[in-house]
Amino acid sequence: MGAYFSFERMITTTFVKVVYFLGFVALTAAGVALAVWAGMQLNDATISRSLGWRYVAMGVALVVVGNIVWRVFCELWVVLFGIHSELVSVRYALNLSRLRPVSEAPVTREVIEEREEVVRPREVVHQEEHAVPHQASVLGLS
């Protein structure tokens, strides 16, 4: 129970799966309802034929494309929360919870090794006096 209150155990992935299922049902019902409604209107000849077939096509597209887009959107959220759970498991695997928190007193003595300074000669590029200067574009592409 402590993991829920410290936000180490996320319940959002379960919540996203429930929201996905409800959205799937809503999109499918709306697409089928639109296609059936348009079909009934075509049967009764209360709307034009081209408009009726457009509504049928939009209903079918809502069922197919709408559910694919909804699935991708929900999967992105599941992936984001999956990354969190993986980071928590890595933290426990590395025992990072036992390290000194930042709020404790700082380390009083640190040993810093001195290194030799390496002097490297600088490279100097000389341009030829006879060369024609190159005009570059604003973006530097030419």
Query: Residue 138 — very low, low, confident or very high, per pLDDT cuts 50/70/90?
Result: low
Comparison of pLDDT for 110 and 80, the residue scoring more:
80
The two three-digit tokens of residue 74, written as one number = 């929900």
DSSP state of 64: I
- Angle at the Cα of 133 from the Cα atoms of 127 and 137, rounded to 5 degrees: 130
Instruction: For residue range 6-49, list pLDDT tens digits in order.
Output: 766 667 778 888 999 999 999 999 999 999 999 999 988 888 99
Residue 3 has pLDDT above 70, yes or no: no
**pLDDT of 19:** 93
Q: Average pLDDT of the chain?
A: 78
- Predicted model pTM: 0.55
pLDDT attached to residue 142: 54
Digit-coded pLDDT (tens) for 46-72: 889 999 999 999 999 999 999 999 999
> 141 or 83: which carries more pLDDT confidence?
83
What is residue 12's predicted lDDT score, i.e. its pLDDT?
Answer: 78
Confidence (pLDDT) at 13:
77
Show the tokens assigned to 100: 């000194």
